[in-house]
Amino acid sequence: MKVLIVGGGGREHAIAWKTAQSQKVEKLYCAPGNAGIAGVAECVDIGVMEFDRLVAFAKENEIDLTIVAPDDPLAAGAVDAFEAAGLRAFGPRKNAAILEGSKAFSKDLMKKYGIPTASYETFDSAEAALAYLEQARMPIVLKADGLALGKGVLICHTLEEARAGVRTLMLDKQFGAAGNRIVVEEFMTGREVSVLSFVDGKNIRVMTSAQDHKRAKDGDQGLNTGGMGTFSPSPFYTKEIDDFCRKHIYQPTVDAMRAEGREFKGIIFFGLMLTEDGPRVLEYNARFGDPETQVVLPRMKNDLVEVFEACIDGTLDQVELEFADNAAVCVVLASDGYPEHYEKGYPITGLERFEEADGYYVFHAGSRFDSDGAIVTNGGRVLGVTATGSNLKEARARAYEATEWVKFKNKYMRRDIGKAIDEVS
């Protein structure tokens, strides 16, 4: 088969690496890809939102399967564009990607179908939102309805902060049209867990659990980022919690989407909060998480392409997912200053160490080739260094060991990825 992956970050590198191992794949392309992805796929210089060019490329090159990985093209209907041209594509159609694309939609869906989540109100006008806040309990959470690169969520501790938040989202439009409507949500406390799953419209197959570290600095301080590291599995995600979620969250979400005439085929990422009153949905994503994917796929034993095809064909009930009985930790190497101002274009050395070493992976998030063919930094998040181990502690020690192999001028990382696991061992 000829396969095309749409995207160019660490998530896509992990997907490309795993896809390249499939017995079924004879040729792999990635658009636009990056310098790391170029090691496992032929990179094609087409942007993720250039649907006409992507479809034309897929036709010309007789691509059998296209995997659309990022949220923006999915929400804008990339899979619909491929299907309209008679091509096979993996990912939710536009009418199902709304599960991530609109927080108001997903909250209303959960309410209608009794899926546990924080209580909330939706507002289309700043006046109404401000009036509501006057009698609301603090802290409170404000969320831009639309996609905002994971940054449209404000946790407000005082009424003053909440008023300012409404102004930022709805009047100053810091996240553009994403803030035309906002969700105001009850603040929950507990531990967060990410659970990814494959969905074929009807059936769901849940992958192993993971936990992300979203803040830039140690001790969960600093600004929110796209993710500074992950570990898998989460020791806090017990069998009991898993049973509850399967019964009350996972399958009910798939059934709800079907009942709404929005059959979901692709990846559903459940962002969960394990509260004292049980698991609650924080958010849905309609795609693989990043950097969760960088710890989940190295532990997966199945042929990924077979699972993608089962999702498209509606035969996921015949697939059993298998994960290694081990653990993985990913530490993101970023450019110092991320997520605000940072320099890029610095040469990266030490990447070749990963070629020989067993159970060590380096997934590229932001890298490119300079004019001499050397690999240089090209983003805020540069690399995801993942290691597996027989348990989380071993995986973490190995991941941090491997972060030392790689050098670039303004390298920055958190030192406490996976520290929470010490609480349970």
Chain residues binding ligand GLY by CB under 6 A are 150, 212, 227, 285, 289-290, 292
Exposure of 64 in the CB half-sphere (CA atoms within 13 A): 12
Quote the least distance from Cβ 228 to ligand AMP, whole Å.
13
24 versus 214: smaller Cβ distance to ligand AMP: 214
User: Using the rule CB under 6 A, which residue among 28, 38, 245, 282 binds ligand AMP?
Assistant: 282
163 versus 419: smaller Cβ distance to ligand GLY: 419
71 versus 200: smaller Cβ distance to ligand AMP: 71
Among positions 171-190, residues that touch ligand AMP (CB under 6 A) are 185-188
Q: Which tokens in the block code for residue 76?
A: 């804008």
**CB 116 within 8 Å of CB 248:** yes
289 binds, among ligand GLY, ligand AMP, none (CB under 5 to 8 A by kind): ligand GLY
* Amino acid identity for residue 310 in this structure: A
Quote the least distance from Cβ 113 to ligand AMP, whole Å.
19
Quote the least distance from Cβ 273 to ligand AMP, whole Å.
7
Which contacts qualify for 414-418: CB closer than 8 Å, 24 or more apart? 414/213, 414/216, 414/217, 414/218, 414/228, 414/229, 414/331, 414/332, 415/218, 416/213, 416/218, 416/219, 417/213, 417/228, 417/229, 417/230, 417/231, 417/329, 417/330, 417/331, 418/229, 418/231, 418/329, 418/392
77 binds, among ligand GLY, ligand AMP, none (CB under 5 to 8 A by kind): none
Considering CB under 6 A, how many residues would be counted as binding ligand AMP?
Answer: 15
Please name the residue that has the structure tokens 């990985």: 69
Quote the least distance from Cβ 283 to ligand AMP, whole Å.
3
Binding mask 104-143 for ligand AMP (x = CB under 6 A): --------------x----------------------x-x
Q: How many residues does the chain have?
A: 425
Q: Per rule CB under 6 A, is residue 271 in the interface with ligand AMP? A: yes
- State how far the Cα of 184 lies from the Cα of 121, in Å rounded to an integer: 5
Q: In 114-223, where does DSSP find H-type helix?
A: 126-133, 159-166
29 versus 264: smaller Cβ distance to ligand GLY: 264
64 binds, among ligand AMP, ligand GLY, none (CB under 5 to 8 A by kind): none
- State how far the Cα of 335 lies from the Cα of 338, in Å rounded to an integer: 6
3-state secondary structure of 348: coil
- State how far the Cα of 222 lies from the Cα of 336, in Å rounded to an integer: 13
290 binds, among ligand GLY, ligand AMP, none (CB under 5 to 8 A by kind): ligand GLY
User: At 7, phi and psi to the nearest 5?
Assistant: 140, 175
200 versus 292: smaller Cβ distance to ligand GLY: 292
Contact positions vs ligand AMP (CB under 6 A): 118, 141, 143, 150, 153, 155, 185-188, 192, 214, 271, 282-283
